[in-house]
């Protein structure tokens, strides 16, 4: 009960951020993420925010203008996305920065992913 109240409080008090940030995505990928080149990130306007393992699966958090840029990025980076979710907040922002990974995962909204491997 306390954990749920803490998450709700964090959402309502600290998730308001700048309106001009790129959409943030959490992508389950096919292995540990080592990052990509500066040139690729710059060309595709991608911001690599975080990479982590959760429940034995590898994830990367990226900011991208659209899902199209995201698809091109993962194709060029030779990673096969498994699932895709959006994040309605800034992964590193004031509302989420003090939450555990388990709590942060509650903020993900799964989306259909046409470029994800089955």
Does the pLDDT of residue 2 top 50, yes or no? no
Q: Which of 60, 38, 43, 41 is nearest to 51 (CA)?
A: 60
Whether the full predicted model's pTM is greater than 0.85, yes or no, is no
**Using one digit for the tens of pLDDT, what is the confidence trace for 16-64?**
333 344 799 999 999 998 888 999 999 999 999 999 999 999 999 999 9
Domain boundaries, the chain: 2-110
pLDDT at 105: 94
Residues 103 and 100: their CA atoms lie apart, in Å, by 5
pLDDT band (50, 70, 90) for residue 91: very high
């Amino acid at each position: 009960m306390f954990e749920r109240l803490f998450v709700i409080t964090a959402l309502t008090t600290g998730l308001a951020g700048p309106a001009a940030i790129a959409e943030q995505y959490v992508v389950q990928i096919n292995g540990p993420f080592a990052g990509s080149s500066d040139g690729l990130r710059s060309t595709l306007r991608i911001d690599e925010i975080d990479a982590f393992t959760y429940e034995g699966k590898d994830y990367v958090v990226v900011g991208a203008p659209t899902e199209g840029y995201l698809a091109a990025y993962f194709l060029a980076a030779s990673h096969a996305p498994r699932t895709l979710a959006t994040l309605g907040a800034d992964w590193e922002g004031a509302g989420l920065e003090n939450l555990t990974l388990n709590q942060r995962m509650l903020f993900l909204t799964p989306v259909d992913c046409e470029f994800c491997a089955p």
